């Protein structure tokens, strides 16, 4: 039996999320496919990669060692697949604005790859709130932006969504709701709630809570994702946040579980934005092409104009 990329990706998702069921949801496949891939890997390596329990899947020492190797494999394959054509060499200065969440949890890795593949493109990055980003695009202060596209409001700003990150319920390990495959917002409303406010997260949350006819029992409002992570892990409350910012462990080393929500909770949409009348420079085109290659098949491309 030979190692496959499918096995490696399924293993990484399980290791990061800590549950076969949630890994399957994240990968949009069946639980049995994830289970089979993990068992095949363990058979090939001759070692147990996970300790299975009612709370989920915890990495063994061998599993943690293999996870580091798996990350190298996945990054190498992604780099090979997304590498630009050798005869295309863009140059120039590109001024890119990004919101807090995008810059903190998504953009740095891609900036590094852009620098490697387009060394003649100088990218200047500016962290701004959504209103300042829109105004900066309109005033030509920024060439492009990487933003939460659902938050954009100005009609002269064009946006393209690259991917949607599902929002799920975050729970401390051993919380009773961890035993469910999904929960309703009515269930969540009974729990003390930690509400994130950065990047208009409170405004987004208000929409889906109101649509469900429910009100969260807010214990704390905070602009810090890490504060939410720590308070959830410590058992001080629960939160609904996107998979993009989820990590299975808090800074204190405590486990954070996730459960899907049955009510309609809008995902976090991440994408590119620019002024409708802005003429594309070679640097702008290279930036857009990079993200298209990395995230979008032709039939998936959607633009808001």
The pLDDT score that the predictor gives to residue 301 is 39
The pLDDT score that the predictor gives to residue 71 is 87
Q: Which of 59, 56, 101 is nearest to 258 (CA)?
A: 56
- Residue-range domains of the chain with CATH: 5-82 (1.10.10.10), 92-164+268-296 (3.40.190.10), 167-259 (3.40.190.10)
- pLDDT band for 88, please (50, 70, 90 cuts): low
Residue 304 pLDDT > 70, yes or no? no
Span 158-190, pLDDT tens digits:
999 998 888 999 999 889 999 888 899 999 999
Global pTM? 0.70
Mean pLDDT is highest, among 28-42, 57-71, 212-226, 252-266, for 212-226
Residue 73 pLDDT > 70, yes or no? yes
The pLDDT score that the predictor gives to residue 251 is 84
What is the residue-averaged pLDDT of the chain? Answer: 89
The pLDDT score that the predictor gives to residue 87 is 53
The pLDDT score that the predictor gives to residue 299 is 37
- pLDDT band for 85, please (50, 70, 90 cuts): low
Rounded to a whole number, what is the distance in angstroms from the first to the last CA of the chain? Answer: 50
Span 116-126, pLDDT tens digits:
888 999 999 99
Beta bridge partners of 59: 50
Span 231-287, pLDDT tens digits:
999 999 999 999 889 888 888 888 899 999 999 999 999 999 999 999 999 999 999
The pLDDT score that the predictor gives to residue 3 is 85
Residue 50 pLDDT > 70, yes or no? yes
What's the average model confidence in pLDDT over 131-160?
A: 96
What's the average model confidence in pLDDT over 149-155?
A: 95
Q: Which of 140, 138, 139, 6 is nearest to 73 (CA)?
A: 6
Span 91-103, pLDDT tens digits:
899 999 999 999 9
């Amino acid at each position: 039996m030979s190692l496959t990329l499918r096995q490696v990706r399924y293993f990484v998702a399980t290791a990061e999320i800590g549950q076969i069921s949630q890994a399957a949801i994240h990968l949009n496949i069946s639980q049995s496919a994830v289970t089979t891939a993990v068992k095949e890997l363990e058979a090939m390596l001759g070692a147990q990669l996970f300790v299975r329990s009612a709370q989920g899947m915890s990495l063994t020492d061998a599993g943690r060692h293999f996870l580091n190797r798996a990350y190298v494999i996945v990054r190498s394959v992604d780099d090979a697949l997304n590498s630009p054509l050798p005869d295309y060499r863009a140059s120039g200065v590109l001024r890119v604005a990004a919101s807090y969440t995008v810059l903190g949890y998504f953009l740095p890795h891609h900036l590094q790859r852009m620098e490697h593949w387009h060394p003649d493109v100088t990218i200047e990055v500016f962290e701004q709130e959504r209103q300042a980003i829109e105004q900066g695009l309109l005033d030509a202060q920024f060439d492009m932006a990487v933003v939460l596209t659902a938050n954009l409001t100005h009609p002269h700003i064009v946006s393209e969504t690259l991917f949607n990150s599902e929002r799920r319920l975050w729970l401390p390990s051993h919380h009773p709701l961890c035993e469910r495959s999904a929960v309703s917002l009515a269930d969540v409303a009974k729990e003390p709630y930690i509400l994130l406010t950065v990047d208009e997260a409170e405004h987004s949350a208000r929409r889906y809570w109101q649509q469900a006819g429910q009100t969260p029992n807010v214990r704390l409002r905070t602009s810090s994702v890490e504060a939410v992570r720590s308070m959830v892990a410590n058992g001080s409350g629960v939160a609904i946040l996107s998979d993009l910012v989820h990590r299975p462990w808090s800074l204190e080393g405590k486990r954070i579980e996730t459960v899907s929500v049955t009510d309609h909770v809008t995902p976090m949409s991440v994408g590119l934005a620019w002024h409708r009348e802005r003429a594309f420079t070679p640097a702008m085109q290279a930036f857009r092409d990079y993200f298209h290659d990395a995230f979008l098949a032709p039939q998936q491309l959607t633009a808001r104009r």
